[in-house]
Amino acid sequence: MHCPHPEFTTTTTAPLPPRSPSPSVRPAPLAVWFTAGLVGLALAGCAAVPAPTPSKPASPSTPSAPAATDTTGAATTAATGADDHAAGFAAWRTAFATQALTAGIAPHTVRDVLGQAQWQPRVVELDRAQPEFSRTPWAYLDSAVSAQRVAQGQVKLGEHRPTLEAAAARYGVPATVVTAIWGMESNYGSNFGSFRTVDALATLAYEGRRRAWAQAELLAALRIIDLGDIAPEAMLGSWAGAMGHTQFLPSVFLAHAVDADGDGRRDIWGSIPDVAASTARFLADAGWQSQEPWGAEVRLPLGFDHVRAELTVRQSAAQWAAEGLQTMDGRPLPTLASAAVLEPAGARGPAFLVGQNFRTILRYNNSTSYALAVALLAQRLDGGPGVVADWPRNLQPLSREQTRQLQSALNARGFATGTPDGVLGPATRAGLRQYQQSQGLVADGYPTLELLQGLVGGAPAK
């Protein structure tokens, strides 16, 4: 499941969480729910189970497939009233404490941190919310790569250049790319969320759509507190559990966070050296190629087969150049060993040739609009251009319900898109392209109201 990415455009500054003067966890009163039997188990202690380091890094801020078995589902029986939710959450919390102890979380952390976790109904509301309309690529980029964000990023680059360049030298990821992710994830630290991470993840673990995933992330968050990297009250982030300046999930923090300032803690909330190094390390671990750029905007040749504009269709930039692809300014195409053509708005909009580093940015957030925003923001921060070609701003986005109708209509005509879910994915684009080809249209797989009307109402397709 894709977690809605927090796109921060406000300039309102949220106070930075204070750095704890000591890596030790601050004691709290004994939670009343902690029974005598559980205290005995805590005092007995359990063998620590080290957190696994994934061979391929998971997305920092986007939930992936569930990583743990939900062993406490009996405590999550749906309740209608607030009192029932509070009682159910307390019962779940008691049951989960045993699981946390078995996983090797320190008894005092289970007692003082998990024991004080609070039910957050707002987190459930946000988890269940789905936007009616998907944003068009140009609307997303207008906001994400605004003149204000570019200007703020250039200021941050100037303020922290030695720190950002040190991370770039260590991990081979350009300072502009790290700064762009910083800008995208928290508007350069002005807003990285005000939810207590343990509260948010405990709520999702009790009653969310990804309970097993949330339980695994909650255990990771408790382990971070055990390690002394952050005090529990300073562990703040988004409603979905992503934390700090560049929105690392707890499991990603454990695998990739770096203590770059040498204070003995990995602090992605209050230490810019730690933030820069941790972000660069994640990208390096995810496959960043220091000798390649992310890609470039390109001009496609006449007669280009738009069916091939998919991230899975890859060949070298030299091979694309032989087919007639050109940069917008006439310079040679960038050297890319494995490049694909991306048309975010179909054949009527700009085209880009993207390589391995673009796909690496997708590991941070699996959205082509997000990855393109990071790439273009980094390019602008480096003094380069924005998008040159015009976007088809006259096209209206389909609502989720309209996308479901499109999927159902394509399925009914034999152009398979999978189960209609209102989300435009590869299967839907493939089915739509087949339909476009059957009608003699440009097969770019981009949905429009005209196409929907042609499928559903019988109007001529365009």
Alpha helices by DSSP H, listed for 17-68, are 36-44
Q: Is the Cβ–Cβ distance between 205 and 198 less than 8 Å?
A: no
Distance CA 100, CA 34 (A): 13
Answer whether 236's CB lies under 8 Å from 199's CB. Answer: no
Tens digit of each residue's pLDDT (9 = 90 or more) over 104-119: 999 999 999 999 999 9
428-451 pLDDT, tens digit each: 999 999 999 999 999 999 999 999
Helix and strand totals (H; E) in the chain: 18, 6
pLDDT of 84 over the 80 cut: no
Continuous segment of H or E residues that includes residue 288: none
Three-state secondary-structure class, residue 339: strand
First to last CA, the chain: 33
pLDDT in tens, 324-345: 999 999 999 999 999 999 999 9
Query: Max alpha carbon distance in the chain (Å)?
Result: 76
Q: Which domains does the chain have, with CATH numbers?
A: 137-286 (no CATH), 295-382 (1.10.530.10), 400-457 (no CATH)
Question: In the predicted model, is pLDDT for residue 63 greater than 80?
Answer: no
pTM of the model: 0.84
HSE-up (13 A, CA, CB side) for residue 223: 23
